[in-house]
């Protein structure tokens, strides 16, 4: 796994809706902290800004403007945290609930390219920002009876829409050289343990 500047590892948790990313993020933070890593997290920004009242809807905020805001916030936070924690001598991990490429899932190729052009970035530039990507499969694909919005009131996608988003997310992120796929399991704890094992293997391979 190629290291980022200043020995900071940057990992992305992604996946379709209702995949368990938020729970996975918290569990990884606990596990990695126990291993003496300093873990900084960036929760899913789409949920954050919706909680603040900024919601994509007809006649108010367009989908492309919604994704522009997320992209701007994401790149600002990533760069800010990277620059600050890069001065630390402690082992550091920046752990993200979704990354910059996730916006492409909700836009056309041309719309997403417009956002990239503003920042003079390519998709390869974005992939190179991250050391590893872990895709958690949506329950809409693997076990649809458990797909709902009980863990996120701003999950608006139907199961059918979620399956489309799942496939587009895999297509978008699988180009990363350290892409890992975590399928739905019969029990969620097994899925979390599989995620944990893949993350620890990445860290082990880099030591």
CATH 3.30.360.10 fits 5-206, yes or no: no
Q: Which two tokens stand for residue 167?
A: 């496939």
The pLDDT value recorded for residue 182 is 92
The pLDDT value recorded for residue 152 is 43
Rounded to 5 degrees, what angle do the CA atoms 20, 104, 86 make? 70
Order of strands, sheet of 38-42, starting from the edge strand that comes earlier in the sequence: 38-42, 92-97, 8-14, 132-136, 179-182
Q: Is 180 helix (H, G, I), strand (E, B) or coil?
A: strand
Place of tokens 């905020």: 61
Question: Please, which residues bridge with residue 41 across strands?
Answer: 95
DSSP per residue over 25-56, as a string? HHHHHHHHHHTT-EEEEE--HHHHHHHTT---
Cβ-proximal residues to 187 (8 Å cutoff; 6+ apart), any chain? none
The pLDDT value recorded for residue 143 is 54
The pLDDT value recorded for residue 129 is 96
With contact defined as beta carbons under 8 Å apart, do 147 and 188 qualify?
A: no
The CA-to-CA distance between both ends of the chain, in Å, stands at: 10
The pLDDT value recorded for residue 1 is 38
The pLDDT value recorded for residue 174 is 96
Q: Is 113 helix (H, G, I), strand (E, B) or coil?
A: helix
The pLDDT value recorded for residue 70 is 95
pTM: 0.85
With contact defined as beta carbons under 8 Å apart, do 179 and 133 qualify?
A: yes
The pLDDT value recorded for residue 91 is 84
* Residue 186, Ramachandran bin (φ over 0: left; ψ between -120 and 50: alpha; else beta): alpha
The pLDDT value recorded for residue 151 is 52
- In tens digits, what is the pLDDT along the chain, a chain of 207 residues? 344 445 789 999 998 777 888 889 999 999 999 998 989 999 999 888 888 888 877 678 899 999 999 999 999 999 999 888 777 778 899 999 999 999 999 999 999 999 999 999 999 999 999 999 999 988 777 555 555 544 544 444 666 777 888 899 999 999 999 999 999 887 889 999 999 999 999 998 776
The pLDDT value recorded for residue 75 is 96
């Amino acid at each position: 796994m190629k290291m980022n500047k200043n020995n900071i590892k940057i990992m992305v948790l992604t996946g379709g809706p209702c995949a368990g990313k938020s729970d996975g993020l918290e569990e990884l933070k606990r596990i990695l902290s126990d291993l003496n890593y300093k873990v900084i997290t960036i929760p899913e920004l789409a949920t954050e800004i919706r909680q603040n009242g900024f919601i994509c809807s007809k006649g108010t905020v367009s989908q492309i403007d919604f994704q522009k805001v997320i992209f701007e916030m994401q790149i600002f936070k990533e760069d800010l945290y990277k620059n600050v924690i890069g001065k630390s001598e402690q082992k550091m991990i920046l752990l993200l609930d979704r990354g910059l490429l996730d916006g492409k899932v909700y836009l056309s190729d041309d719309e997403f390219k417009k956002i990239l052009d503003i920042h003079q970035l390519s998709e390869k530039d974005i992939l190179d920002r991250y050391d590893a990507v872990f895709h958690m499969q949506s329950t809409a694909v693997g076990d649809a009876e458990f797909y709902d919005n009980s863990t996120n009131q701003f999950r608006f996608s139907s199961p059918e829409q979620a399956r489309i988003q799942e496939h587009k997310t895999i297509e978008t992120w699988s180009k990363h050289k350290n892409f890992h796929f975590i399928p739905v399991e019969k029990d969620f704890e097994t899925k979390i343990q599989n995620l944990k094992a893949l993350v620890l293997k990445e860290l082990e391979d880099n030591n």
